[in-house]
Structure 1
Amino acid sequence: MFVIAHHFIQEPELFWASAPEIIAAIPPHIKLHSVYPSRDLKTGTCVWEAPSAGEVQNLVDSMLGKMSRNVCYEVNEEAAIGLPQKTLEEAAS
């Protein structure tokens, strides 16, 4: 499933500087597809593919919770426009 993560960032410089380290630590059963930072870097939206929104919530809270408040939710794929190609389901088949 696709999951959106919205990040409300208290420490933008630290948050974005830590991005490469965090991306490298993503477990193989979760995929980060897209990252959309706001111009002022105080908010960001990411598109994930994962077994559940809860897994993404736990992951981003554990890695980013000291720098941001994170809100994750499952995408309604039938109503969505412009979702990326799924990759994890293909790999599991």
Structure 2
Amino acid sequence: MLIVAQHAVTDPAVFWPTAAQAPLPDDVRLLQVLPSIDGRHGVCLWQAESVERVREIVDAAVGHVSRNEFFPVEEQTAVGLAMHGVGAEHG
């Protein structure tokens, strides 16, 4: 399953280095990280078994310096996923 995480970052100086160093379990992949220029917003694309799995990891690592929203991706109509080897356009 593909999951998007949207981040509203309250402390970019803490959020981005902490996120970059957070260990990931083998069953979760971080596919894309798209920070805003000022570091106060970000969108990340994840692959995991569930939205809750990603929520647990993200909130544990950076929940103290961000507000995070998560949603599953509708892979059948998504564009640009082939570069990650996932999604309907890949298969």
Please list the CA deviations of residues 58-77 of structure 1 after superposition, one character each: whole Å capped at 9, or x if unmatched.
Answer: 11011111010111110000
Aligned ranges 1:32-47 → 2 under 5 Å? 32-47=30-45
4+ long deviations beyond 6 Å: none
Determine the structure 2 residue equivalent to 1:17: 17
- With structure 2 as the length reference, what TM-score do the two structures score? 0.87
- CA separation in 2, counterparts of 1:70 and 1:12? 14
TM-superposed CA distance for 1:16, in Å, is 1.2
Q: Considering only aligned residues, what root-mean-square deviation do their CA atoms show, in Å?
A: 0.9
Identity of aligned residues (%): 36
- With structure 1 as the length reference, what TM-score do the two structures score? 0.85
TM-superposed CA distance for 1:20, in Å, is 2.8
- CA separation in 1, counterparts of 2:54 and 2:19? 15
1:56 aligns with 2:48: no
1:8 aligns with 2:13: no
Determine the structure 1 residue equivalent to 2:68: 70
TM-superposed CA distance for 1:79, in Å, is 1.1
Determine the structure 1 residue equivalent to 2:27: 29
- CA separation in 1, counterparts of 2:55 and 2:61? 10
